[in-house]
Amino acid sequence: MKAIASHPILSCDETRAFEEKLFGGDEAREWPAMQHAGRAIAAGVRRDFEEIGGFPAHGRVLVLAGKGHNGGDALIAARALLEKFPAARAEVLFAFGERLLRPLAARAWRDLAHAARDRVTLIRAARGAYDLSLDGVFGFQFRPPAEPRLAQLFAAANALPIRLRAAVDLPSAGLFRADFTYATGCVKRPLLEDDAVNAGRVRYLDLRFFRGDEPAADRVLLPSVLAPLAELRDPRTDKRSYGHAFLVGGSRHFPGAILMSTLAALHSGAGLVTAFVPESLVPAFAARAPEAMWVGWPETPAGSLALEGEHLLRERIDRATALVLGPGLSREAETLALARSIAASSPVPLLIDADALQAEIVGAGTAPRVLTPHAGEWARIATTNPAQTTVVHKGPTTRIASSRATYHSFFGGPVLARGGSGDLLAGLMGGLLAQTPRDPLLAAARGVVWHGLAADGLARARGQTAVSVTQLLDFLPAALRDSATCPPI
């Protein structure tokens, strides 16, 4: 099995020990890292602003700065933004006063004040509307509780009309309400906790502190997990070299799910895709996606897959390298019995999704399997623990649980909060599983990251609201190329 491109997620104590070992308290070594972090935050802010139309040329920035490194990061980020947008302005509020700044934060403040001159104002209270707020008051070394004066400061900042709220590393005191938290250098474990609701969406900014082989139970996935897929393919290969994905699903009441999964599988790079669907759906689906091989399956009176059609799959299964089971399947008793029989006898790795996520189905058979539950589906199967299972827990932060580690993907966002996004993920991941049938974890990691990066691209190009989920397919090629060509921030 290949190593999964990822970095460790550390507790606050582990982060403190790691930084002491990395820098040894040497400010001459810390300053370049702070510069790198601040500029990475600015770049991240600019990218994420694209989801709401881009950072405005005359943007107004509020910087909440503490005494130490987080304050320095925020000040450097503000400087980078003002350099990029000559008409933008910044207002800086020092939570503990200017005189208590530590040396590197004071240096960052001097650089900002010198570089921007008349476009930076030191304030005691924030008023009016801002385009961006940067929270750099507390970092991972904060010990609760926050004194009342600071709690009031964060409450006042949260009440202001601000288009995008950004926190450095962690939302200060857990009180600042962020739209995005930019984890610089490493992701801190508090961002994984259920009560981290004020963190918003997490962006990991890789400052190249890690080699990638450091042991950790929790890890953050990197875009570079996709890089091999963007490389030149061997010119001596043919379609059989890239796997054959089988998909089984669909019903008269839920026809779209299996179509979307098949479309995603066709975009995954798999050499061949065969979809087994209710026979009444084949003409329309074949017209929509002629690249797939469509096999019509006998239907129950309600329009779901009937038991009598199982021979269609058994006659062809030796051609498959992976099988996707579940999209649009329905919960008709006969069809669920069919799904259990398929799972029990499958000789190839399975990806089990949607209505097929039932305890009696996911626990049947011995083939390696990838399960893709959302929270409600997980409640149905949580007590089932078949061997050789990789579980993709779908949610605002998608987690992949395996015997090797738990991997976290921070890509994607609210643009995925619409029907059909899971069907696309299942098909994309199934097509990848067909290409790496001996490594389901790698297929799951690549599928989750690719899906999330494409969603980010869709949101930045067209916003979060007035889009349809299948538009995500148009952004898969760019996401793949960017994973190979873009270095860490």
Are both 267 and 178 inside the same structural domain? no
Taking residues 89-109, what's their average pLDDT?
97
Establish if 101 belongs to a structural domain. Answer: yes
Widest CA span of the chain, in angstroms?
A: 80
Q: Which of 215, 238, 271 is the last residue of a domain?
A: 215
Q: How is 354-399 classified by DSSP, letter by letter?
A: GGG--HHHHTSSSS-EEE---HHHHHHHTT---SSEEEEE-SSSEE
Q: Which single residue is written with the structure tokens 């058979």?
A: 365
* 204/229 same-domain check: no
pLDDT above 70: residue 485: no
Provide, rounded to the nearest whole percent, the portion of the chain with pLDDT above 70.
Answer: 99
Same domain, 319 and 186: no
Confidence of residue 387 (pLDDT cuts 50, 70, 90): confident
Residue type at position 377:
E
For residue 489, the model assigns a pLDDT of 46
Residue 1 belongs to a domain = no
Tell me how many domains the chain contains. Answer: 2
CATH number, domain of 143, equals 3.40.50.10260
What is the pTM assigned to this prediction?
0.96
68 and 186 assigned to the same domain: yes
Give DSSP secondary structure letters for 209-227. ---S----SEEEE-GGGGG
Q: According to the model, what pLDDT value does residue 388 have? A: 87
**Domain match, 49 and 181 both:** yes
pLDDT confidence bin for 37, thresholds 50/70/90: very high
Q: What is the pLDDT of residues 53-86, one digit of tens each?
A: 999 999 999 999 999 999 999 999 999 999 999 9
* Residue 2: inside a domain: no
Residue 142, CA distances (Å) to 45, 138, 147, 172 in order = 24, 6, 12, 8
Whether 385 shows a pLDDT value over 80: the answer reads no
pLDDT 10s digits, 319-371: 999 999 999 999 999 999 999 999 999 999 999 999 999 999 999 999 999 99
168 with 252, same domain: the answer is: no
Question: Are residues 134 and 199 located together in one domain of the fold?
Answer: yes
Quote the pLDDT of residue 486.
Answer: 58
Provide, rounded to the nearest whole percent, the portion of the chain with pLDDT above 90.
93
Q: What's 478's DSSP letter?
A: H
Is 5 within the bounds of a domain?
Answer: no
Query: Which residues form the domain of 210?
Result: 11-215
Residues 193 and 230 in one domain: no
State the Rg of the chain over Cα.
25
Stretch 13-41: mean pLDDT: 96
Q: Are residues 67 and 159 in the same domain?
A: yes
pLDDT bucket at 2, cuts 50 / 70 / 90: confident
Q: Which two three-digit tokens encode residue 167?
A: 């926190």
Residues 420 and 278 in one domain: yes
Flag whether 418 is in a domain.
yes
pLDDT digits (tens, 9 = 90+) for 268-327: 999 999 999 999 999 999 999 999 999 999 999 999 999 999 999 999 999 999 999 999
pLDDT given for residue 470 in this prediction: 98
Structural domain contains residue 357? yes
Which residue(s) pair with 275 in the sheet? 247, 294
Q: Give the residue from 215, 248, 280 where a domain finishes.
A: 215
The 10 Å Cβ neighbour count of residue 56 is: 14
Higher pLDDT, 17 or 194: 17
| pLDDT at 29 > cutoff 70 | yes
Same domain, 160 and 195: yes
Query: 186 and 255 share a domain?
Result: no
Mean pLDDT of 32-56: 98
| 54 located within any domain | yes
Q: Tell me the backbone φ, ψ of residue 299, rounded to 5 degrees.
A: -110, 150
Ordered DSSP codes for 46-115 = HHHHGGGT---TT-EEEEEE-SSHHHHHHHHHHHHHHHH-TT-EEEEEETT-GGG--HHHHHHHHHHHHH
**pLDDT, tens digit, for every residue of 120-130?**
999 999 999 99
Q: Per DSSP, which regions of 222-319 are E strands?
A: 244-248, 272-278, 293-297
User: From edge to edge, which strands make up the β-sheet containing 60-65?
Assistant: 120-122, 89-94, 60-65, 130-136, 162-168, 180-184, 201-205
How far apart CA 48 and CA 71 sit, in angstroms, is 21
CA distance 474 to 453: 12
Mean pLDDT across the chain: 96
Q: Is 6 within the bounds of a domain?
A: no
Q: Which of 166, 197, 215 is the last residue of a domain?
A: 215
